Amino acid sequence: MKFYSSLLTKFVRLATVSFLLMGCVKDVDLDQRNDITLGPDLQIDLLIYDIDQSHFRDTATGNIKNRISDTVRLEFLDDSYIQEDLTSVEFYFRHINTFPREIESKIRFLSEGNREQFAVNYSITPGADGNPVTTEQYELIEEDRINLVRRSIKMVVELEVQPGTAVFEGELDFASKGFFSFEF
């Protein structure tokens, strides 16, 4: 019995000491913590509008204007996550047109001092009443040009109706979004 007790005691002591000494971590490299980054890819709606011929009428004179524009500040472009961690943006613009005229779309991004940083210009294909035509445009801005987005704060949308004989009536719907990729 005594032999048995002594053996058990020794075993327990040995086991305890062994486990305390053996406590270790294997096959891991904790230095990798320096490589940890968050990389969210965010789809964010930007501007929308649905306009018709009335938006091209001068309220003072009642005459049709060929060119209209508006400016929207995108204050979030000034936030630290854009300024420091944005790696690329893909803009998407879509017009659905029933005006029977070609319309030039200019989308410009301006700095606080109204200096143009970059612009996306394209022609909106004419449509017809009951036959809306979709025009889509993508603009990818990667790391080499990302400063242009960082310096921008205003988005200017400008439409210029091209000459034509068809009656200027219809609707023009605009949708836009940005696919923002970050690395924090």
Partner 1 sequence: MDDLPQTLMSNPGAQINFTGHIGIPLFSQIHLSAGTTGVDLYDIFADDGTNINTRIQETMRSMDARDYFAINQQLEIISLGWKLDRKNYLSMGIYQEMDLFAYFPKGPAILVNEGNNDYLNEPFYFDDVSFTGEILTVYHLGINHKFDRRLTVGARAKFYSGVFNAESTGNSGRFTTYTTPNGRNVYKHEVVDLNVLVNTSGFASLREEEEVMTVEQATAELLSRSFFGGNVGFGLDLGLSYILDEQFILSGSVQDLGAVFQRKDVENYRYFGAYETSGLEPLFPDLDENDEAIPYWDIFEDEVDRNLRDQTTYESYTTWRPIKANFAMEYGFGPGFLPCHYLSDKEVRYMNLLGMQLSGVKRPKGFVYALTAYYDRKINENQRFKLTYTLDDYSLTNIGLMYTKTFNKFNVYLAVNNVLAYPDLAKAHSASIQLGMQLVFND
Interface residues with partner 1 (CB under 8 A)? 5, 8-9, 12-13, 15-16, 19-20, 22-30, 32-33, 35-51, 55, 58-60, 68-75, 92, 94, 157, 173, 175-177, 179-180, 182
- For 64-119, the DSSP string reads BPSEEEEEEE-GGGGSHHHHHHEEEEEEEEEEEE-SSS-EEEEEEEE-TT--EEEE
Choose between 139 and 173: whose C-beta lies nearer to partner 1.
173
The CB-of-65 to partner 1 minimum distance in angstroms stands at 9
The CB-of-163 to partner 1 minimum distance in angstroms stands at 20
The CB-of-83 to partner 1 minimum distance in angstroms stands at 17
Which of 7, 9, 150 shows the shortest CA–CA distance to 81?
A: 150
The CB-of-50 to partner 1 minimum distance in angstroms stands at 7
Choose between 33 and 115: whose C-beta lies nearer to partner 1.
33
3-state class of 88 per DSSP?
Answer: strand
Residue type, 172: L
